Amino acid sequence: MKNPTEKSKKKRSRSKEDKAKQMENILEGCLKLIREKGFFGFEMRALAKHIGMSKANLYNYVSSKRELWIAVRIRTMREFKAGIENTAFSNGEDNSLEVLKKVGRFVFDFAAEDSNRWKLMTSTRPPDPPIKDGKPFIGEIEKGYKSSQVLDVIFKILQDGYSKGQIQNLDMKLVGFYLYSIVLGVTYLEYDILTDDIVRDSEFHEDLKFDKEKLRELAFSQMEMLLQKK
């Protein structure tokens, strides 16, 4: 006969697994809506309907849309960090410029994959916290949240490259800010151009055809000039 304590532990374990799966389902559904509408383009009720959950049950997992923003940002920043780490040093023989190009290309592609997700990571501010009993309410997810920025991840990658000897004789902060500003500027320019009605109708506006690869290579050539001056 099984010990009641063991049964209780297994039940709690299954409950944690089920909760984690449901939270993953919520985040996946949220990311789909963000891609389609942007973070502020839908309400919690719409998300609940999208994933087949009651609004009341949704609030058992995220206490507010602010917490939803935080949960999604934690997830996307984790994916971004893992991807950029796997990309930057995939070849130990790369020189400083090649490492920086790899970082830049990864960020370009990550941003282009979902521009609304990228905006959430770089410029969209979270909703204000809900007010309860006259005070801002801080949910459980936010209590354990430590903010991380795209620039922080890039700095960390450059520092790792310096430690491994793959990035040499460079001012890490200068290059980090420069790379970040190039990537941020180009990705937002790409978004603005590609979502403009005139450019999308480029069949009738040949002079406005947009080649994003040429724009990216121009950015890399500017970065190469910076490195050659060091």
Report the length, in residues, of the chain. 230
* Tally of CB atoms within 10 A around 36: 11
* CATH superfamily of domain region 1-61: Homeodomain-like (1.10.10.60)
State the pLDDT at residue 25.
97
Are the C-beta atoms of residues 104 and 219 closer than 8 Å to each other? yes
∠ Cα 138 140 144 (to 5°)? 95
Of residues 30, 41, 43, the one with CA closest to residue 76:
30
Stated pTM of the model: 0.80
State the pLDDT at residue 20.
93
- Using DSSP, state whether 209 is helix, strand or coil: coil
What gap in Å lies between CA 81 and CA 76, rounded to an integer? 9
46 burial type by CB count under 10 A (0-12 exposed, 13-18 middle, 19+ buried): middle
State the pLDDT at residue 33.
97
Query: What does each of the 230 residues of the chain score in pLDDT, given as a tens digit?
Result: 555 555 544 444 458 899 999 999 999 999 999 999 999 999 999 999 999 999 999 999 999 999 999 999 999 999 999 999 888 877 665 677 777 888 888 888 898 899 899 999 998 899 999 999 999 999 999 998 998 888 888 888 888 877 877 677 667 777 788 788 878 887 777 777 666 655 555 554 455 455 677 777 877 787 777 666 55
State the pLDDT at residue 218.
78
State the pLDDT at residue 189.
75
Are the C-beta atoms of residues 141 and 73 closer than 8 Å to each other? no
Residue carrying structure tokens 């039940």: 11
At the topology level of CATH, where does 77-228 sit?
Answer: Tetracycline Repressor; domain 2 (1.10.357)
Biggest CA pair distance of the chain:
79
Strand partners, 141: none
Residue spans per domain, the chain: 1-61, 77-228
